[in-house]
Amino acid sequence: MPEAPAGTLYRGREGMWSWVAHRVTGFLIFFFLLVHVLDTSLVRVSPEAYNAVIGTYKNPIMGIGEAGLVAAIVFHAYNGIRIMLVDFWSKGTRYHRVMLWVVVGLFVITMAGFLPRHLGNVFGGH
Amino acid sequence: MAALTDIPAPRSPQGAGSARGARSRRTGRTNYELYAWVFMRASGVLLVVLIFGHLFMNLIDGDGISAIDFGFVAGKWASPLWQVWDLLMLWLAMIHGTNGLRTIINDYTERTGTRVVLKTALYLAFTIVVVLGTLVIFTFDPCPAGAPADLLPSFCTG
């Protein structure tokens, strides 16, 4: 069994941590996607089966989980656009740090719009 | 030789060139990793649009999550637009995600056996989910016989 390579910290700072966050959010989204296709497939079983399972998505704990899922998707989406700008825009590498803070800013704005709406639906007593 | 170079199958096997120089790196290799890299970016752009549209329709529009039930799904899939939307989203997201997981497995597994097991599980999950999801979209019946009318979309009773 080879020993783990010493020092897994790459260069640190914005470049590495955005890469780590991209990887972690992508990993989480993928596993949700597997579950989500399976739960949606219950429409093929019966309306009752689908409604019963989707009903569990409406309880407050799952509602908070959905907020976390959307947060992961929004970060992954915006940072993905940043990665493409770094790859394809001639000044991308020079501005990759600034662009990460733009990503964080847009993320905060998007979540500030989404969270009241979604949490209102979850806790709004329908 | 340092221990680090002794990893039998290093990260991203298709992309890792041997130490024997450019000639051996040229022969017998494909552009597979390049195409995968391009696909991640091309599908990423489309997925931003597809998934943001999906989240808007299902979590923001109307009463959001609390309005989702069988009737809601049936109403959406009555339109070819949402059938194509969801089919495209399913395929692109699954290929994008599977390729992402493949990269993660290549990066962190050090033993060949572990890598083979994890990738087999990954490709199996990919196949099951994509086939199942595609069948569901194409064989969906919005008005199944014998189901209570109050659970069905309004057009079933019309």
Taking an 8 Å cut-off on Cβ atoms, the answer to whether B147 and A29 are in contact is: no
Closest in B6, B70, B129 to A37, CB measured: B129
Whether A126 has a pLDDT exceeding 80, the answer reads no
Residue A93 confidence (pLDDT): 92
Distance (Å) from the alpha carbon of A123 to chain B's nearest alpha carbon? 10
Contact A87 B97 (CB under 8 A): no
**So what's the pLDDT on residue B1?**
43
CATH no., domain A15-123: 1.20.1300.10
**Cβ count near A50 (within 10 Å):** 24
Residue B55 contacts A, CB cutoff 8 Å: yes
CA geometry: angle B84, B89, B93, nearest 5 deg: 155
CA-based nearest residue to A76, from B55, B63, B11, B74: B55
Task: Give percent of chain B with pLDDT exceeding 90.
Answer: 73
Topology, domain B29-153: 3 helical TM bundles of succinate and fumarate reductases (1.20.1300)
| pLDDT score, position A3 | 62
Top pLDDT among B18 and A43 is at A43
Q: Is residue A44 scored above 50 in pLDDT?
A: yes
B55 vs A13, residue with greater confidence: B55
Angstroms from A41 CA to nearest CA on chain B: 6
Q: What percent of chain A has pLDDT over 70?
A: 90
Q: Best interface-test mutation with A: which of B4, B47, B69 has the largest number of A CBs within 10 A?
A: B69
CB burial of residue A117 (10 Å; 0-12, 13-18, 19+): middle
CB atoms inside a 10 Å sphere around CB B96: 23
- Mean pLDDT, to the nearest integer, of A65-79? 97
pLDDT at residue B16 above 80? no
Identify the H or E element spanning A117: helix A96-123
Q: Using the beta-carbon criterion (under 8 Å), do A27 and B104 form an inter-chain contact?
A: yes
Q: Tally C-beta pairs within 8 A across A and B.
A: 117
Cβ distance B132 to A34 less than 8 Å, yes or no, reads: no
- Dihedral sign (CA B81, B83, B84, B87): positive
pLDDT classification of B6: cutoffs 50, 70, 90: low
Q: Is the pLDDT of residue A97 over 60?
A: yes
Closest CA to B65 of A25, A96, A123: A123
Alpha helices in chain B (DSSP H): 22-26, 32-55, 70-77, 80-108, 112-139
Which residue carries 């995968």 as its tokens? B36
Mean pLDDT of B95-115: 96
When pLDDT is cut at 50, 70 and 90, the band that residue B101 belongs to is: very high
Nearest CA in chain B to A125: B66
Residue identified by tokens 């931003």 is B48
What are the domain boundaries of chain B?
Answer: 29-153
Read off the pLDDT of residues B123-148 as tens digits, 9 standing for 90 and up.
999 999 999 999 999 999 999 988 89
B34 reaches A (C-beta below 8 A): no
What confidence score (pLDDT) does residue B15 get? 46
Domain boundaries, chain A: 15-123
In the prediction, which pLDDT does B11 show?
Answer: 55
